[in-house]
Structure 1
Amino acid sequence: MPVLNHKMQNYIQKNNPTLIIFSLLIVSTCAMSYEYFLGAMSSYLLGDGRIQWALTITAMMVSMGFGGYSSRYVKSHEKMVVINELAIAFAGGFSTLFLYAFNVYIGSAQVVTLGYISINGFILGFQVPLFMHILRKAGESFGDLVARVTLFDFLGAVPAVILYIYLVKGVGLVQGTMLLGLINVSVVLLGIKLFEPELSTRFRRVAKILVVAIVLLLLLGLTFGERAVMGLERQLYNDRIVYQEQSDFQRIILTKRGEDLRLFLNGNIQFSSLDEYRYHEALVHPAMDLAANREKVLILGGGDGLALREVFKYPEVKEVTLVDLDPAVVGLARTHPVITRLNRGSLDDPRVQIVNQDGYKFLEQGSGLYGVIIVDLPDPNNEALAKLYTREFYTMVRRHLAKGGAVAIQSTSPYYANEAFWSIVNTVEAAGLDVAPYHTYVPSFGEWGFTLASDTAINKSRIKVEVSTRYLKQDMLPGMFVFPGDESESTNEAVNTLIHPVIIDLYQQAWENW
């Protein structure tokens, strides 16, 4: 068995290899946390979290294998531990900022993301055998060595996920990895001290200089990271950013050009102040007129209060329950002067009850019946949102619908995402509701589609517009239910379910062309 020089061997044995094992735990924790951050960033930048997380795990596992195998060629295990941790502190610490910048200035970062993940996995796989060699040379028995190293390597997953959750909520994706980089630096300092007998004076001096440089860079990143993100985000939007916030659920951006205020959630436009009335009038009024009773209304989504504004045009409305997952969106819509002017203070009307909860959970746990249900949710571009476009979801909507009630569902574009639109229509129908799809033109969105549904047969000719509107007029209604040839029903009759969430692929494939 190879043996360290006596000075170091005695030092390690005196500390009962605890510090080395502790270092391994930190290394494992940071490496796995980086994977979580990179997986989340790739999902945010590239979409389809199912694919991105699968690619993340695969790239990590494969590269860990290559890293472990490559460690056989290392001569100085102690020196390589220090070098590796310096590399991961810098590369990992700035990983999400680099990927975001790459996506802004170059384009799709899929290959670069996988490259970063692979490097991280390689270093983690590389590190574990290094620690094994060091502990083995210090006199650890092989059986105890493998058991302890394996245990603490995998135990790193527990603090890793805790770190990830709290850092994402606390400081976000970019500054979160910078804090992880500082944790990695602590391992470098510990390694320099622990392996001092095996490291040359020159190596220790250079390593300490690099530690100082990396710490300063990371501290600068933490100080100015938010400004850097703001600068990068300005490149993604055509107009000036006047508000931005990272809530617990999404990135909220407001842009402004002249009189045009736009809300973006995770980079996707939600409304333009210049034409939002077209969308919300078309969404709300057909269902409100069709319903046999509109005293109780349920709005799923619509945290901006704009659909609610249209609902309150009907004096019969006595109670509205608005369910929106993100209290930050509702809070913004309650306080921003332009948005409150647009929604006419509807969110503070005493008739409205706001529930900050996932719409699926609300329907699952609730028991109330509503004469009108408005489903004003973002497009189904990820798994969490696709769940809100499933047959199971619409079945629960039907169960909460009072007899003779009406449902209105925003259903993406029948032109830009034709198959996704008709899949939504088919899915609502598969839930046992009669459907009447319709469309209108919203300049900031383009051609947009909706699904009108009811538990009774829909007589479209009886729908009237009997309240004050800026856009929607009675003589427009018949044409809204007629689709031109290039928007007509797709031959694909796919129904979106929890087990087979086909809507994600249909939606993403469609929008790739635009």
Structure 2
Amino acid sequence: MKIPILLLSFVLAFLSLLYELLIAQTMGFLTANAAAWYGITIGVFIGSMGIGAACVGVFPYQRDARGSLAVVESLLAFIGGAAVLLLYQAHALALFLEGNEQVALGKLVFFFSGIVTAAAVGLLTGFEVPILLEMGRSDPARRISAEKVLAADYIGALTAGCLFPLVLLPHLGLLRIGAGAAVVTGFVALGLAQRSKEEDRPLFLTVGFLLLAAFSLIFVLGSRIETAQAKGYYFSGSASWTPQAGSVSLGSGRVHRDRSPYQVIDRVDFPGGQDPDLAEMVRSYLLRPDQQHALSGWGLFLNGDFQFSADTEALYHEVFAHVPLAASGLSPRRVLVLGGGDGLLVRELLKVPSVEEVVLVDIDPVVVSLFRKDPVLRALNRDALGDPRVRVIVGDAYDFVRRNHEKYDAVYLDFPAPSDYDQSKLYSQEFYTFLKDRLGPQGVVALGVPGLFPVNDEAWGGREMSLWSDYAAPLRAGGFVRLVPFFSRLEEDNAQALAVMRRLYKGAEGMVRRDVSPDGREVRAVEIRGEENVAREMLKEHVRKMTAGFILAVPDDRVLPLEEGRLRTEGLDVLDQRRFLLSLKAGEGFDEGAGRVNSVFRPVIAGKEGVLEIRSPY
């Protein structure tokens, strides 16, 4: 009897913590502030455990400890196993309500669902140890001490905490982990039910078998159901799955999901294109009509966050690669790219005649493999990762810069937004200090800056809404003397683009533009009337959608050519000399960037999104 109770304590703690980690991971994935909600969810769980332990008397567990524990485990299997499904459905409903201007109700539905689910799992978990102790006391001759039961409980929790991120999550995914845990919990409930009081046994066994059947089916169909959830995340309307493994169809739309130890990688094929109006407008900006490719209509998302669209990525990557070189007058031979495992930035750098070697360092081997081997993705990056001038290193960028002692003429940082504290180290003073030592005598650094936008455009909210100081302060603290912001920017007087807008918005009587106030707390409605004015305003809006921020960082006070620099346009699809000048002009008006310095030891750049903000893919 002694060993089974200790083993039971270990198994139940293992399963309970798995459920809580599932809820925390899902909340972190579906909220804008992942760091905050991961912590909040764990806190709610632990607090509810205490409440559960205090309120365990609601069960007459002294009369039938095994029957009481069977009830607890059945409830836990149902709630914990279905938690991921429930939270995804609540998130989809919240996005639907937000789209119908019921933002507050949408947030209430989603966050209430998350907190209640975490609290319910914690409450039920709190019931377990007192009931286990009662089971141990039921045989006075072989009484088990509370210390040993608690020790087994803690070891089970430790095991779950280690296996969840290292083994289970990369190989199974959230939904199948939850279903698998529910199946094991169901078996435990059945075993307890068989030794419960005879009058309760038939009900317990029936419920246990139903739970086993339901969650076994979810486990088997887990990958398809999970992809259907992704379909609901990216598309409006109902999702339906087709027999092809790993893909879900809605018309011509498809989600292709891959998973790595670091992130979920979704390639989303949008019916008619992700933003057909924007895609058509972008085509009107192409330098030559024959430059259109057949890869339009799909986008890449990492952990649910938009990375790029095949329709619009050319402007972003051309500006990122070529503007820093023209503005600094640099003709690099050796280039280091940190991040950017898709090879699109590398594609652009290989167009520079002076480049002899590009070293690409990316932490995710799955992303690199996809863009090396998938025919569609290779066509997009023009097989850049297979070029003999490119050396690919799979590893952590921070560790590489800290340990590597080679010198480079230019370094490009192509990282995602710092949404958690681990990513924030790539925007830290320490990282930039190491990076400065990797530069050659005339070397420069160019980095993509998520959330940076021009301060001279009222629709963006002005200087106070820009994240300039968050990025500039650690760069300066890391030893970079001169910082030049620039943006991917298109002209708003393009005749062809305006003709597209006139056709798309023909007959429009008016519209309302919503400008953000400088403090970010208010939205000012600006009414636009007349068909021509609507067309011009929508062109401006689409140009804003294409605007992304970058920083050219120089470690000394050398004189840069900037606007006098000459852009090499050979092989470029969108960027020309005029747009090069626009990209620099859009960066005017920024101050010196005084602000709090993001550090590895004091991360301040991550988690700046509001706690009550729901993540959307765009």
Task: Check if 1:270 corresponds to 2:307.
Answer: yes
Task: Check if 1:216 corresponds to 2:213.
Answer: yes
Task: Check if 1:119 corresponds to 2:132.
Answer: no
State the partner residue of 1:87. Answer: 75
In structure 2, what residue type is equivalent to 1:49?
Answer: A
State the partner residue of 2:176. Answer: 175
Write the mapping of 1:87-486 to structure 2, written as runs, cut at 5 A. Answer: 87-107=75-95, 108=107, 109-139=110-140, 145-165=145-165, 166-193=167-194, 195-196=195-196, 199-200=197-198, 202-238=199-235, 240-257=253-270, 258=272, 259-289=296-326, 290=328, 292=330, 294-412=332-450, 413-415=452-454, 418-433=465-480, 434-441=482-489, 445-456=545-556, 457-459=558-560, 460-468=562-570, 469-483=572-586
Q: Report deviation, 1:304.
A: 1.1
Gaps of 5+ in 2: 96-106, 236-251, 273-295, 455-459, 491-541
Query: Which protein has greater RCO, CA pairs closer than 8 Å, 6+ apart?
Result: 2
Q: Secondary structure at the match of 1:344?
A: coil
Q: Report deviation, 1:29.
A: 0.9
Write the mapping of 1:6-85 to structure 2, written as runs, cut at 5 A. Answer: 15=1, 17-75=2-60, 76=63, 77-85=65-73
RMSD: 2.6
Q: Report deviation, 1:400.
A: 0.8
Query: Against the structure 1 CA distance between its residues 189 and 234, is the aligned structure 2 distance closer, same or farther, given a 3 Å change threshold?
Result: same
| Separation in structure 2 between the aligned mates of residue 173 and residue 234 of structure 1, nearest angstrom | 16
**Cα-to-partner distance string for 1:149-174 (whole Å, 9 max, x where unaligned):** 12111111232124413221111011
Q: Secondary structure at the match of 1:503?
A: coil
Q: Report deviation, 1:243.
A: 1.6
**Cα-to-partner distance string for 1:113-170 (whole Å, 9 max, x where unaligned):** 221111111111111111112211311687x512211211111123212441322111
Q: Report deviation, 1:490.
A: 9.2
Q: Secondary structure at the match of 1:350?
A: coil
Q: Report deviation, 1:437.
A: 0.8
Q: Secondary structure at the match of 2:52?
A: helix
Q: Report deviation, 1:473.
A: 2.0
Contact 1:132–1:146 (CA under 8 A) maintained in structure 2? yes
Contact 1:31–1:120 (CA under 8 A) maintained in structure 2? yes
| Separation in structure 2 between the aligned mates of residue 170 and residue 134 of structure 1, nearest angstrom | 36
Contact 2:227–2:255 (CA under 8 A) maintained in structure 1? no
Corresponding pairs, count: 493
| Separation in structure 2 between the aligned mates of residue 149 and residue 458 of structure 1, nearest angstrom | 70
Q: Report deviation, 1:492.
A: 6.4
Provide the identity percentage.
Answer: 25
Q: Secondary structure at the match of 2:466?
A: helix
Contact 1:291–1:371 (CA under 8 A) maintained in structure 2? no
| Separation in structure 1 between the aligned mates of residue 12 and residue 170 of structure 2, nearest angstrom | 22
**Cα-to-partner distance string for 1:58-80 (whole Å, 9 max, x where unaligned):** 21221111111112343232221
State the partner residue of 1:8. Answer: none
Q: Report deviation, 1:372.
A: 0.7
Contact 1:368–1:400 (CA under 8 A) maintained in structure 2? yes
| Separation in structure 1 between the aligned mates of residue 351 and residue 200 of structure 2, nearest angstrom | 75
Deviates more, 1:205-214 or 1:235-244: 235-244
| Separation in structure 2 between the aligned mates of residue 430 and residue 511 of structure 1, nearest angstrom | 31
Q: Secondary structure at the match of 2:117?
A: helix
Q: Secondary structure at the match of 1:493?
A: coil
Q: Which has the higher helix share?
A: 1
Q: Secondary structure at the match of 2:605?
A: helix
Contact 1:436–1:458 (CA under 8 A) maintained in structure 2? no
Q: Would you identify which runs of 4 or more consecutive aligned residues in structure 1 move more than 6 Å?
A: 509-514
| Separation in structure 2 between the aligned mates of residue 304 and residue 207 of structure 1, nearest angstrom | 52
Gaps of 5+ in 1: 1-14
Query: Against the structure 1 CA distance between its residues 97 and 472, is the aligned structure 2 distance closer, same or farther, given a 3 Å change threshold?
Result: same
Q: Report deviation, 1:475.
A: 3.3
**Cα-to-partner distance string for 1:395-447 (whole Å, 9 max, x where unaligned):** 12111111111111001231559432342133222211121111123759442
Superposition TM-score, scaled by structure 2 size: 0.75
Q: Secondary structure at the match of 2:338?
A: strand
| Separation in structure 2 between the aligned mates of residue 496 and residue 506 of structure 1, nearest angstrom | 12
**Cα-to-partner distance string for 1:32-73 (whole Å, 9 max, x where unaligned):** 121112111111111433312321232122111111111234
Q: Report deviation, 1:87.
A: 0.8
| Separation in structure 1 between the aligned mates of residue 255 and residue 22 of structure 2, nearest angstrom | 27
Q: Secondary structure at the match of 2:127?
A: helix
Q: Secondary structure at the match of 2:411?
A: strand
